[in-house]
């Protein structure tokens, strides 16, 4: 496979990367970017089969190798099956990008039902826990594993417009990242990205056009980000270029929120 990262720290030839929620948006862009760098990729999706197929087709057109993996990761048996199927296909796991997540629907904490609260944690936290737990022995076996968790700017802001349950779940995922970085070192690194507003289908569903324009005006760089820009940071954290980085949370919000 010919790609632009040969003989650089970004060369992932021979490595295997599992992406959850890779049927579109950040997951799709990251899977394509790492395949371009030489990785064998696992493209997980829950229901967006057309998007997952498009991701795989793009990777194959670049000369890459990948497999589609379907499952509801909130179910333990499905999470285990996705990991096992990818290992059977690729023979190993070097990189895990826990990208699958969903705000589900907006609700204030006062009006939030117990069912919605539990579902938010199932979809955004428990799924990542179960996939990661199953993948850990394989990541350790490489001696150079990398886990990347996808958070949200709402971790810092507390969420807005009814995104509180989602923000709370992503906050738990942040602490989970730090726990992993302590427990799995030095064989496996664990880091997280925290995107701001990314122009993907997510915001087409949950955010009005007027609000998106407000976000652009509030961002010092003068625009919202694109999924392929976020994918560049996933590539960095997956690669040897970040070999001394673990337990980190990388802000990707164009300066809109400064810690």
Residues carrying an active site annotation: 166
Phi, psi of 32 (to 5 degrees): -65, -40
Nearest to 254 by CA among 230, 220, 229: 220
Beta bridge partners of 8: none
Phi, psi of 186 (to 5 degrees): -95, 0
Note if the bond before 156 is cis, omega within 30 degrees: no
Displacement of CA 41 from its chain's centroid (Å)? 13
Q: Say which DSSP state 198 is in.
A: B
Q: What tokens appear for 101 in the block?
A: 């997540």
Strand order through the sheet with 40-45? 66-70, 40-45, 16-19, 95-98, 145-150, 188-195, 249-252
Collapse the DSSP code of 169 into the 3-class scheme (helix H, G, I; strand E, B; otherwise coil) and give the result: helix
Count of other CB atoms within 10 angstroms of residue 87 = 18
| Alpha carbon distances (Å) from 250 to 12, 27, 134, 191, 220 | 21, 17, 25, 8, 17
Burial 52-79 (b: 16+ CB within 10 A, else e): bebbbebbeeeebbbbbbbbebbeeebb
């Amino acid at each position: 496979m010919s790609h632009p990262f040969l003989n650089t720290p970004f060369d992932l030839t021979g490595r295997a990367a599992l992406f959850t929620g890779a049927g579109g948006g950040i997951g799709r862009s990251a899977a394509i970017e790492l395949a371009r760098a030489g990785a064998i990729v696992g493209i997980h999706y829950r229901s967006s089969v057309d998007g997952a197929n498009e991701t795989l087709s793009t990777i194959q057109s670049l000369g890459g190798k990948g497999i589609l993996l379907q499952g509801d990761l909130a179910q333990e048996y499905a999470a285990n099956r996705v990991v096992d199927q990818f290992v059977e296909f690729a023979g190993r796991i070097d990189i895990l990008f826990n990208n699958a997540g969903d705000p589900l629907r907006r609700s204030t904490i006062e009006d939030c039902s117990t069912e919605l609260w539990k579902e938010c944690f199932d979809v955004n936290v428990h799924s990542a826990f179960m996939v990661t737990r199953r993948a850990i022995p394989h990541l350790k076996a490489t001696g150079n594993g990398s886990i990347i968790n996808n958070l949200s700017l709402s971790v810092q802001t507390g969420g807005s417009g009814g995104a509180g349950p989602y923000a709370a779940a992503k906050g738990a995922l942040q602490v989970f990242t730090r726990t992993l970085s302590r427990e799995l070192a030095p064989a496996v690194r664990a880091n997280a990205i925290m995107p701001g507003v990314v122009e993907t289908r997510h915001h087409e569903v949950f955010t009005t056009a007027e609000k998106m324009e407000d976000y652009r005006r509030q961002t010092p760089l003068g625009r919202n980000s694109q999924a392929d820009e976020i994918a560049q940071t996933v590539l960095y954290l997956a690669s040897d270029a970040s070999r001394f980085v673990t337990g980190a949370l990388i802000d990707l919000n164009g300066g809109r929120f400064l810690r």
